[in-house]
Each structure stands twice: as structure tokens, then as C-alpha cells.
Amino acid sequence: MCGIIGYNGIRQATNILIDSLKRLEYRGYDSAGIAVLNNKAIEVYKDKGRIIELERDLPEIISTVGIGHTRWATHGKPNKANAHPHTSGDIAVVHNGIIENYEHLRDRLTQLGYVFVSETDTEALAHLINHYYRNNLMDAVVSALNDIKGSYAIAVLCGSELVAARKDSPLIIGIGDNENFIASDIPAILKYTRNIIYLDDMEVACVTPDCVSIFDINKRQIEKTVNTIDWDLEAAEKSGYDHFMLKEIHEQPRALHETFAGRISELEGNITFDGLNLTEEEIRSISRISIIACGTSFNAGLLGKYLFEYMTHIHVDVEIASEFRYAHSSPGSLVIAISQSGETADTLAALREAKSFGCRTLAITNVVGSTITREVDSVIYTRSGPEIGVAATKTFLSQVGVLYLLSLYFGKLKGIISSDRIKLMLVSLKKLSAQIRRILDDKESIRYCAEAFAPANDVFFIGRTFNYPIALEGALKLKEISYIHAEGYAAGELKHGPLALIANNTPVVAIATRGPIYDKMVNNIKEVKAREAPVIAIADEKDSEIEKYVDTVIRVPSTEYVLSPVLSTVVVQLFSYYVAKSRKCPIDQPRNLAKSVTVE
């Protein structure tokens, strides 16, 4: 997704802009550009392709103020004309988001004599600001924003004036010594400052080298808190792993530990959340829950459904956020939005829809201060640490960790789960980190297996009940990073259609940990074996039966059946990673995908 950087200070702006843009590469982009004030004139350098190419082609520039952008195409092709910054006269603009009324604005501005040179919505904003400009950039920006519909995070440069604003798209201000920054994401500027202001919707910031002034859209000045970031840039870099994804898979024991820290006491069987804001009585009165999410977070939500229904007997609907918005029936009395980034436009739109029904809302997210956290009644943070790889791994596992705690807590209050059972579950939950480490220590066996199947064109992942969401997640991981066609199926559903696709060149990953319907799962494995499919089973280390039915077994440590999805997840992540590595795919930045999807 698009990235924004802005700088106003005393150092060479180009160096800082380029360096910061490189730190935003993980968000995914197809073109990049900068605009700087060079000797009283704004100069723009931009092109399709990588930042390193943009840097290579830059001339010698002396400038201490500028803006930069990485673009992920939404309006118009990825090319030089459509790359940001966009200019109009002396105004240069970078923008994330979508201006919904841009065609109307384009007609209006064309009639006023403005000439459009790109296919982007952002160019209309540049002309609009120019149209309103009367020697005060902030006034012009505010007037222009009042005319636009849609979402935006923007940085605008005019001479040495630098202004930022946001609505429905993340933007932060970094506070330095005699220099200040604008960025769409913290890692972009963490090298330069740890002091961050989170801009809220409809706020505008004027950024000079020694001052940041923030105003609401009515130009009333407002006081904002400066937050200190306590995680390191190193934590946002690869630490010696080949890819962020592999590093983040290895960070999962720690992430899960953090998710549970301070929230569980296995001796007393207690679970506590600081941001829940729901009384015990309110929880007891919940009769239906709706979970809304996208992609990997949806898969976590689906596991949440199985967990809540098992532990609380509350009916749960899990909805793809982009579909939920258009449903015609009301959601449950509690709506849980799951989003690692907290910025996913589809999830935010669904959440706003849910709020219009008067439901209680709860967010499970990883990003403190993200948009979603400011729109819900309650927030539970997953505490996974920054995740850079586009393919979500540790954030998924931490979401699942929160869902275990939440469903157990609700189940206790509803009287469905006994105190003794909760204590046992909490003990088993706490053991998961060490058990994940054992899987990681044995990752070479997964690599060996993955490399054998890397040439496949189609792969199926199958599982039942609690393992079904992990089958979906395995298929999603494999397709997004290896570009292999993969399907996740409830194993009992294969015979209703997809079995027609199974043949001796269709590997099947069967998640077959022991549980109440293990025998039925074995029957499903026999169905695919009968079609000569090579089968890789993910099975309990104590299961001595499974090898009779499959070609390869990947073992996971023994745990409660309902908790085994956590361990199987790590296997499907590593399997997908090694397949993609063997196929030499760009694992951390898969084609066409972005880390934070802030458009609907």
C-alpha cells in the first residue's frame, strides 16, 4: 500500500526522504517519487519501479524540505505520470487513499483551466489546493479538503511550507531536534525520532523545522499527546533471517507469550483484559456474536467461531468484511473486528455499518493508535510487535491467542466451562510457546518436505472443525507467497465437488491432529489417497497410526485438540515459506499484494 514521508529540517532532505521510503518498501509499491524545494523552486523526481532506481537517477540537490511517496496503483496504471508527487503550479502533493468525487472535481477544475496530466484522483487535489492558494498553504489545504469526499492521508509542499492531513488513512508526525517528519508508518522515521504524534481524522498539521502545529478542520488549534515509541528499528529489520516472514515465524513463541502476558493466571484460572470495557453482566447477556475481518484475520475469526461456540455456546457468525457491509440483517449484539493493521478499509467500513445498528464493538488488533482502535468501544491488542512481511504470520497466531482467552473468559462467565477445565486450558496455552520452539528447531524436515512438493501446480489443504480454518490459512499463505494455486477445504466437503480435481499430481496437506472426529478425517485422507494424491499429514507426535495412510508425516507436539491449530499453523507457514523460497519468489513482497489494504 502507498507510503508517505515528509521532512522539514536542517539536513539534506533527499537523503532522508529516500532512506525513509526504503523503510516503507515492505508496504508494497509500484512507483516512487519525491518533491523537494531546491533553490526556491519545487523539483519533482518520480518513476515507475524501485526506489533504488529513483535514487540512482537523482541529480545533486541541496534542499532541507520535501515530501516522498511509494504508490500502489488504485487509480490509473503504475507509470511515471501517475506516480506521486503530483503538482499544480508551486504545489506538490502526495496522497494515500481515494478521492471518491474526483471525476466531478476534475470536470470543475478543467473548466477553470487546469490541465490534467495523469489518471489519478490525487492530481485533482493538487489543482484544488492550487485553486484555493492565497499565500497560506494550510488555508488552501483546508478549503480543498472541505470539497473532497473520500479518504486521504496527505503531505503537501509549497515553497518551504509543509502541511499534512488525514481522514480514514493513517498518518503520523515525528518530532525531532530542529527537524520534523510526516510518515504513514512508524518504521519509516524511527531511525530519526521516537517521538510520535498520531494524527486523527480531519486534523491538519503545519510542519516547520522547529514547530508542529495541529488544527482541526475548522482551523482551531489543538493540543496532541507526543507518544514515545519503545520498540527498536532493529525489531523492524530482518535480524539475520533471509526474509522478514521467516524472522516473524520465529518470533511467534515470543509474540504468543506477549499476548498472554499479564492476562492469565493458570493457578486461579483467571483471565483479565485491560481494554475490554464490558461488565460481566453484559457478557452474560450476549446471545449472538458477529466477527468481521479479511484474509488471514478472517481465518483467525473462523477459528474464533469454533472456539466461542465450543466454549460459550453463543452463536457466532463470521463475515468477510467486504460482504458484511451489504448484508440485510442485523449483526449480533457484540461485533468483533479483527485486523492486524487496524487500518483495513473493508473492515473499517463493516465496523461502521455494525455501529449503525447500535452493536457493542470490540477490536482485536496489533497496532496501537490505529484507526480501528479509535472507533470501537473496546480494544484488545495482540502485542505481536511490528510485522513487516506482507504475509501475516505472528499477528495471526496472536489474534488466535486472544480468541482463546476471550472465548474461555466468556465461557467461564456463561457457566459453560468449569474452573478446573479453564486452569488446565491455561496451563496448556502457556506451554504452546515452548512447543512452537520445538517445531522451529525441527524446521529442516518441513523444508525437505516442502522442497519435494515445490514444483506442484495445485495443492489442497484439508482439515475438520478447529483445523478447517488452518487449512484455509495454509492455502492462503501458499498462494500468496509461492503463486501456486491452493485450496483450503473442510475435509468432509471434498466429496461434494473438489474431489474431481484430486489426482496423482495434486499434493494434499491434511491437518490430522487427534480429536473427536479423527476417524472421519482418516476416512477423508483415504478418499484422496484412493485418487493417488500424495498426502502430507500434520499429526500428533504420539500418533502411530497415521503413517499407514499417508506419504509423509510432519509431527507436532501433543496438546489439547482445541489448541493444536496453533501448532499446525506454524507447520503450514513454514511449508509455504520453503515452497516459495524454493521457487525463488519475492516472499516478503508478493506481487499485487500490500501489507495494509486501506482501499475498499
DSSP letter string, 437-464: HHHHHTHHHHHHHHHHHTT-SEEEEEE-
C-alpha 67/C-alpha 86 separation (Å) is 11
Whole-angstrom distance, CA of residue 135 vs CA of residue 180: 22
Applying CB under 6 A, among 82, 347, 465, 568 the residue interacting with ligand AGP is 347
Residues 6+ apart with CB under 8 A from 557: 435, 438, 439, 541, 567
Residue 369 φ/ψ, nearest 5 degrees: 85, 0
The C-alpha angle 64, 68, 73, rounded to 5 degrees, equals 170
Question: In whole angstroms, what is the distance from residue 23 CA to residue 190 CA?
Answer: 10
Sheet of 221-222, strand order: 86-88, 91-96, 152-158, 161-167, 203-207, 212-216, 221-222
As a dihedral over the C-alpha atoms of residue 362, residue 364, residue 365, residue 366, rounded to 10 degrees, the angle is 130
Name the grid cell of 370. Answer: 490505529
Residue with smaller CB distance to ligand AGP, 473 or 540: 473
Q: Strand pairing partners for 17?
A: none
The residue count for binding ligand AGP (CB under 6 A) is: 16
Instruction: Find all residues with CB under 8 Å of 383, minimum gap 6, and list them.
Output: 255, 258, 259, 261, 366, 398
- Region at 331 (left for phi over 0; alpha for psi -120 to 50; beta for the rest): beta
Q: Which is nearer to ligand AGP, 114 or 324 (CB)?
A: 324
DSSP state of 70: E
Give catalytic residue positions.
2, 595
Instruction: For residue 463, report the phi and psi dihedrals to the nearest 5 degrees.
Output: -165, 165
Minimum distance from residue 294 beta carbon to ligand AGP (Å):
4
Which listed residue (13, 392, 422, 553) binds ligand AGP by CB under 6 A? 392
Report phi then psi at 320, rounded to 5: -65, 125
Q: Which residue has the cell 482551531?
A: 220
- For residue 61, the 8-state DSSP code is -
C-alpha 225 chain-centroid distance = 25
Tell me how far, at minimum, the Cβ of 346 lies from ligand AGP, in Å: 8
Of 14 and 341, which CB lies nearer to ligand AGP in the complex structure? 341
| C-beta closer to ligand AGP: residue 372 or 425 | 372
Which listed range, 35-43, 326-334, 554-562, 592-600, lies at the site for ligand AGP (CB under 6 A)? Answer: 592-600
CB nearer ligand AGP, residue 559 or residue 598? 598
- The binder of ligand AGP chosen from 391, 406, 535, 580 (CB under 6 A): 391
14/384 with CB nearer ligand AGP:
384
**Residue 398 or 506 with smaller CB distance to ligand AGP:** 398
Residues 451-490, mask of contacts with ligand AGP (x by CB under 6 A): -----------------------------x----------
Q: Which residues 324-343 are close enough to bind ligand AGP by CB under 6 A?
A: 339-341
Shortest Cβ 534–ligand AGP spacing (Å): 26
Binding residues among 250-309 for ligand AGP as defined by CB under 6 A: 294-297
d(CA 108, CA 472): 47
- Minimum distance from CB of 479 to ligand AGP (Å)? 10
Contact flag: residue 385 with ligand AGP (CB under 6 A): no
Which residues have CB under 8 Å from 510's CB, separation 6+? Answer: 462, 463, 491, 521, 524, 525, 528, 535, 536, 537, 538, 550
Question: Residues 221, 228: contact at Cβ < 8 Å?
Answer: no
Closer of 472 and 512 to ligand AGP (Cβ)? 472
Say if residues 255 and 381 touch (Cβ distance below 8 Å). no
Q: What is the biggest distance separating any 2 CA atoms in the chain, rounded to whole angstroms?
A: 79
Q: Is 562 helix (H, G, I), strand (E, B) or coil?
A: coil
Site string for ligand AGP, 424-443 (x = CB under 6 A): --------------------
Closer residue to ligand AGP (CB): 560 or 600:
600
Q: Which stretch binds ligand AGP (CB under 6 A): 62-70, 139-147, 246-254, 590-598?
A: 590-598
Which residues face 159 on adjacent strands?
none
- Residues making contact with ligand AGP (CB under 6 A): 294-297, 339-341, 344, 347, 390-392, 480, 593, 596-597
